[in-house]
Amino acid sequence: MFQKVLVANRGEIAVRVIRACRELGIRTVAVYSEADRDALHVKLADEAQYIGPAPSRESYLSVPAIITAAQATGADAVHPGYGFLAENAFFAEACEKWGLTFIGPRPDAIRQMGDKNQARELMRKAGVPVVPGSEGTVRSVDDALAVARQIGFPVLVKAAGGGGGRGIRIARSAEELAQAMERAASEAGAAFGTTDVYIEKYVEVARHIEVQVLGDAHGNIIHLGERECSLQRRRQKILEEAPAPTLSPEVRERIRQAGVAAARAVGYSNAGTVEFLYDESTGQFYFIEMNTRIQVEHPVTEMITSVDLVKEQIRVAAGQRLRLSQEDVQLRGAAIECRITAEDPDNRLLPSTGTVTAYEPPGGPWTRVDGMLYPGFKVMPHYDSLVGKLIVWGEDRSEAIARMERALGEFRIEGIRTSIPLHQRILASPEFREGRFHTEWLEQFLQLK
């Protein structure tokens, strides 16, 4: 087992990883930018290293700064969390080069699944359904138009190296296609360093279902059920739950097995998530992408399985075999996660910054808060607006909803505006309570409000 792990991240996920390491008896190193000198993850770690100014490209995205910090503190492994360098194959290779274990999948798996075209082709060969679209990238508007006419409008123009909802545009006609390609390529170039795009059929009324997988270096791969992630705004998830409601037993099993097949196709080791688009009108689902890291929404899976995914990541990276077989995975009850963001729900969800003057998280049975706030902490505009996650478990979905409503009512954060009121509105809606929603539902709901 590792002696010291450097956590190459910030915010609530850095806190989460530090706590898992402490329970395993592993010392931790936090890294921080100028903006995060007083951050909670810095206070909780055994050691902390300054890595640069507030802009992430000069700190949390700086491979040399993080490798230097790991060497200076004698760390023997690096946990990347999610975001920043978590799915950067070059960073994983740099860790290996400098004698550090990267707590995640192998660089080649990251690279294969990070290239959306390559991933789609790999899934086709593995028999995993993929959304109809172009074979590889499209180089011109004429090529894109030929594909779009073959599969039918509307279509999505998607960045080949994308993720996180960026580099994606909808084209509903031939007239919109050229502009969609230009905008998607521009955003992709700025965010991912490549302007390559490909075309996919746009399924207008669909659900976003993802499967949590876990593999080791000895060829063992299992799933830990699926999550419902359809509540999205600007393609960013707001609320997640597990298991996905209203799926038939047959579809549920097929989508879980497709997740395992996808992971097996790439020889996956460590925690990962295979994302699918589910068309309720046809009962068909399609592979979207694989996230080769821990997900923001991993706690809902932990709540229904009693498996600590971060600890399993660490054990697998240390060379241990999975401690579970598929038969050992028992799914019980229902869990919901609300992402608490520093945004104003009464003003178009614009970012909210300032000093936290009061912070009182909810308590009670089966209620969990993964957070980074404390009274006096300054929320600044440099990074993602996520400041915490509220997760609850219930014996069934109805109890989980009731418990989440109670917990949201108890959650007190003052000094900044947060998304808590938005979550209260979502949970009160008949569509959510009855599981009648899809990936476009939240945008429509917000417009109505």
Tokens of 306: 């009693």
Residue 110 in domain? no
The pLDDT score that the predictor gives to residue 339 is 98
70 and 159 share one domain? no
Peptide bond into 107 cis (omega under 30): no
For residue 182, the SS3 value is helix
Residue 283 in domain? yes
Residue 420 has a CB neighbour count (10 Å cut-off) of: 18
252 in active site = no
Which of residues 201, 229, 259 is at a domain's end?
201
Residue 320 in domain? yes
248 and 168 share one domain? no
Domain interval for residue 222: 207-448
Which of residues 185, 201, 217 is at a domain's end?
201
259 and 352 share one domain? yes
Q: How far apart are CA 168 and CA 166, in angstroms?
A: 6
Q: What is the CATH number of the domain that holds 421?
A: 3.30.470.20
β-bridge pairing 386-394 and 334-341: antiparallel
Q: How far apart are CA 156 and CA 148, in angstroms?
A: 9
The pLDDT score that the predictor gives to residue 235 is 84
Residue 274 has a CB neighbour count (10 Å cut-off) of: 28
Three-state SS for 128-151 is: CCECCECCCCCCCHHHHHHHHHHH
The one catalytic residue in 293, 315, 339, 368 is 293
Residue 401 in domain? yes
User: Treating both helix axes as pointing N-terminal to C-terminal, what angle do 249-265 and 116-126 enclose, rounded to 10 degrees?
Assistant: 110
β-bridge pairing 334-341 and 236-242: antiparallel
296 and 395 share one domain? yes
Residue 207 has a CB neighbour count (10 Å cut-off) of: 24
Name the phi and psi angles at 220, rounded to 5: -90, 130
219 and 346 share one domain? yes
The pLDDT score that the predictor gives to residue 293 is 98
Which residues, 6 or more positions from 328, have their beta carbon under 8 angstroms from its beta carbon? none
Residue 276 has a CB neighbour count (10 Å cut-off) of: 26
Residue 126 in domain? no
Label residue 165 left, alpha or beta by phi (over 0 means left) and psi (-120 to 50 means alpha): left
234 and 90 share one domain? no
297 and 431 share one domain? yes
Q: Is residue 51 within 8 Å of 42, Cβ to Cβ?
A: no
For the chain, list residues with pLDDT below 70: 162-165, 191, 449
DSSP state of 36: G
Q: How far apart are CA 34 and CA 51, in angstroms?
A: 8
Q: How far apart are CA 95 and CA 78, in angstroms?
A: 8
Q: What is the CATH number of the domain that holds 141?
A: 3.30.1490.20
CA 33 to chain centre: 23
**pTM, entire model:** 0.92
- E strands, 23-74, are 27-33, 47-52
Task: Give the total number of structural domains in the chain.
Answer: 3
196 and 62 share one domain? no
167 and 90 share one domain? no
181 and 302 share one domain? no
The pLDDT score that the predictor gives to residue 449 is 61
Residue 147 in domain? yes
Residue 111 in domain? no
159 and 140 share one domain? yes
Question: Which residues, listed in sequence order, are joined to residue 62 by a DSSP beta bridge?
Answer: none
Tokens of 442: 């939240």
Q: Is residue 80 within 8 Å of 310, Cβ to Cβ?
A: no
Q: How far apart are CA 99 and CA 95, in angstroms?
A: 6
Taking the alpha carbons at both ends of the chain, their separation in whole angstroms is 52
Query: Of all residues in the chain, what percent are helix, strand and coil, respectively (each to 5)?
Result: 35, 30, 35
- E strands, 202-333, are 207-215, 221-233, 236-242, 270-279, 284-291
234 and 369 share one domain? yes
Give tens-digit pLDDT for 326-338.
999 999 999 999 9
Residue 162 in domain? yes
Residue 223 CA: distances (Å) to CA of 143, 153, 210, 211, 242: 38, 34, 11, 7, 13
Give tens-digit pLDDT for 203-250.
888 999 999 999 999 999 999 999 999 999 988 999 999 999 999 999
Tokens of 172: 């509903």
